[in-house]
Amino acid sequence: MAESVLPYFMTDTMDQWLQFLARQGVLPRTTLNSEPDEAGTGLETAAAETGAMPHADSSNATGATLATDFFAPLTHLGLIAASGDEAAHFLHNQLTNDVEHLGPAEARLAGYCSPKGRLLATLLIWKTPDSILLQVPQEILAPLQKRLQMFVLRAKVKLTDASAQQAILGLVGERAAAVLGHWFPALPPAPYTLAHSGAGTLIRLADSNDAPRYQWLTSPENAQQAWPRLAQSLTAAQAAAWRLSEIAAGVPQITLPTQEKFVPQMVNYELIGGVNFKKGCYPGQEIVARSQYLGKLKRRMLRASVASLDARAGMEVFSSADPGQPCGQIVNAERSTAQQMECLVELKTAALEQGSLHLGGASGAVLVPGTLPYPLPEPA
């Protein structure tokens, strides 16, 4: 997945941050309006800079080499700030999770659905003293903000693109936790908790292969100043390495090719805390609730690996037992080794009972199912 180009109106400070990242060799060239970067996860680029590779766990279920003890700039992510006296109430009525009772020391996953209950976006949300921040991929940020704005009407809410105000770093591994202590004396104790300090905001996210993962939001100036200390303990990587950790954690990200493709349960969103079934109405709520309580959901998201570099979000998956029609599609995919990709795949659960899974057609590369870090309910 290529990095999205940041808005043309980005601040001089953010432009300096991007130029700094380019000099470190961790910024895909597409971010600077050039040719696509073919460096896979970006770990190879980092190795050339530092002479070392991140620690790798080769014992995961799908056989991929997954990195820990690295940090990466997450330039593919953007922020929408919702401010105003009625911001929490407004978002509470738009998203799949409870926003009104979101505490100051926690973050939550949430979805934004169409009236048909299909996900238009998956978001990470948290509160600041003066706003609620919604984190989404840059590629869908502007249309998402525009759509939300349509429903503000007379509510006391202001939506702004806050992407240029924050540098976002993703950090993975026990070493990451240790080095972060320099800026955050008290680290967030559990997934989806956060801590603040003069250095910014630190959010702990779902672990990946038993390794802790953090997002650090700070000013571009602070991020540049922190870089040398981080690089002493961790390997600098491109954002693709972070997205690979998201796949290992079983956390889906809706992007342009998969908008309006899935009811939240199809991508396990209620299993990872992204849906609150007691919060009341939001767009598509009746369909999401019906899928939950009538027990008719026969599609789920699984993890898989494939010995091909062709896997892309939105790509169809076929079963050898029924080659005439697709049985699912790729939700997210990232290169993990020279010839292999890790994927999150939405599938008919029955497709796992017989035959093999193939990418793009019945004669395509074989998808090898793996395991998720959380259990799936029994199919209806």
Looking at domain 1-296, its CATH superfamily turns out to be Probable tRNA modification gtpase trme; domain 1 (3.30.1360.120)
Q: What would the pLDDT profile of 114-160 be if each residue is shown by its tens digit?
A: 999 999 999 999 999 999 999 999 999 999 999 999 999 889 999 99
pLDDT tier, 7 (very low <50, low <70, confident <90, very high otherwise): very low
List the beta strands (DSSP E) in the chain.
55-57, 66-68, 70-73, 77-83, 107-113, 119-127, 132-137, 158-161, 167-172, 194-197, 200-208, 211-218, 235-236, 299-306, 316-319, 322-337, 340-348, 357-359, 366-369
How does residue 38 score in pLDDT terms, banded at 50, 70 and 90? Answer: very low
pLDDT confidence tier of residue 263, bands split at 50, 70 and 90: very high
pLDDT tens string 70-128? 999 999 999 999 999 999 999 999 999 999 999 999 999 999 999 999 999 999 999 99
Q: Examine the pLDDT at 53 and tell me if it is beyond 80.
A: no
State the DSSP code for 297. Answer: -
Greater pLDDT, 123 or 15: 123
What is the SS3 assignment for 5? coil
Give the pLDDT of residue 358. 98
Q: Tokens 């290992």 label which residue? A: 248
List the CATH code of the domain at 298-380.
Answer: 2.40.30.110
Tens digits of residue pLDDT in 294-332: 766 789 999 999 999 999 999 999 999 999 999 999 999
Listed by start position, the domains of the chain span 1-296, 298-380
What tens digit of pLDDT does each residue of 335-370 get?
A: 999 999 999 999 999 998 889 999 999 999 999 999
Q: How much is the pTM?
A: 0.89
The whole-number pLDDT of residue 162 equals 96
Q: Tell me how far apart the alpha carbons of residues 8 and 14 are, in angstroms, rounded to a whole number.
A: 11
